[in-house]
Structure 1
């Protein structure tokens, strides 16, 4: 019989780690407005897959991998920071397409949408440490020797929770899409681009400051 307490906690953890407004939320909102709900939701799934990877590390107690991720954390964050800067510039310059043309023009871009948010999520090892802390503090969800079934169930629940968050975001934002003019969408792209670049510059700047401090 499924452990519904474990499943519920896993789903809630997935929602909690996905909810904070940051570059991934911003990207999913922007892609939903530019390309439609499907593209926005698929973008969110990239982040959900990244969350599931970190949840796997925490739930299965993969200490060696966890230590490695922390050891190369600065390099991963630097990659993520430069990736954000490039993505922000692209977003700023991009002209949104008409939603009627979305299915024809963006089908081949779904894989790229998943990869972009997955890279941004996986290059933030602090998320993995957050999972370890959350799992350890919620009813003893992580033990020194968790069963494979328990750990696997928890990882799946985290993925589902994260995916549900992105589904809710894209459905909500999608309701506003048809009410916006092309000029409004272009303005949103400009603002989103500036904010995404700002996130990237902040990450790089913080790493430089920490290295010289």
Structure 2
């Protein structure tokens, strides 16, 4: 019998972790404007996979995986920073034209977007630490680390919350994309690209500061 209260807690955590406006949200919004709902939603599912992976590691107390991630923070941040800067540079020069309709997206492109959002997610080690901090405060996990049923229910809730967030965001952006004018689209691309590059630059700067 599932503990619906624990599922609801996990749902709220997963929704809250996905909702803040960061690089993945920016990428999903950009794809929704350019390609429509399905492309944006599939890109968001990559982030769901990353969130769920870190939630499972935190909830089940998988020490070896946690140590592996925290032991390679510098490399993870470098990869994540370069990925964000590269994606930002590719976004800035694009100018979608809403009057031409939604641009057809292809499966390899959508798969690549999902992989990109997954990599962006797992290259943010603070996410793992955040899940661990939240879960440790719950009696079912913090005081009973071998309670695998509760760990599964929390992880399932996080998965569901993330899926719901990305569905809502992708559908909202796709619904209103045709009301956005070309100048607005150009501004969105520039803002999204610059924001992604800033996020990437901050990751690389954090690495440089810690090294020197």
TM interval, short-chain normalised: over 0.9
Per-residue CA shift, 1:71-107, capped at 9, x if unaligned?
Answer: 10111011000100000000112232657353x4434
Return the TM-score normalized by structure 2. 0.92
Say yes or no: does 1:195 pair with 2:205.
no
* Cα distance change, pair 183–39 in 1 and its aligned pair in 2 (3 A): same
Q: CA deviation at 1:33?
A: 0.9
In the alignment, what sits opposite 1:145? Answer: 146
In the alignment, what sits opposite 1:8? Answer: 8
Inter-partner Cα distance in structure 2 for 1:110 and 1:16: 24
Unaligned 5+ runs, structure 1: none
Choose 194-203 or 152-161, whichever is displaced more.
152-161
Inter-partner Cα distance in structure 1 for 2:11 and 2:88: 30
Number of residue pairs matched?
A: 210
Per-residue CA shift, 1:126-167, capped at 9, x if unaligned?
Answer: 1111111111113433532122x3322321211110111111
Return the TM-score normalized by structure 1. 0.92
Aligned Cα root-mean-square deviation (Å): 1.7
* Cα distance change, pair 101–37 in 1 and its aligned pair in 2 (3 A): closer
In the alignment, what sits opposite 1:68? Answer: 68
Inter-partner Cα distance in structure 2 for 1:129 and 1:105: 35
Q: Which runs of 4+ in 1 moved over 4 A?
A: none
Inter-partner Cα distance in structure 2 for 1:199 and 1:125: 14
In the alignment, what sits opposite 2:26? Answer: 26
- Does the CA-based 8 Å contact 2:14-2:161 persist in structure 1? yes
Inter-partner Cα distance in structure 1 for 2:5 and 2:82: 40
Say yes or no: does 1:165 pair with 2:165.
yes
- Does the CA-based 8 Å contact 2:36-2:102 persist in structure 1? no
Output aligned runs, 1:1-213, within 5 Å.
1-96=1-96, 98=98, 100-102=101-103, 104-142=104-142, 143-147=144-148, 149-212=149-212
- Does the CA-based 8 Å contact 2:92-2:190 persist in structure 1? yes
Inter-partner Cα distance in structure 1 for 2:105 and 2:178: 18
Unaligned 5+ runs, structure 2: none
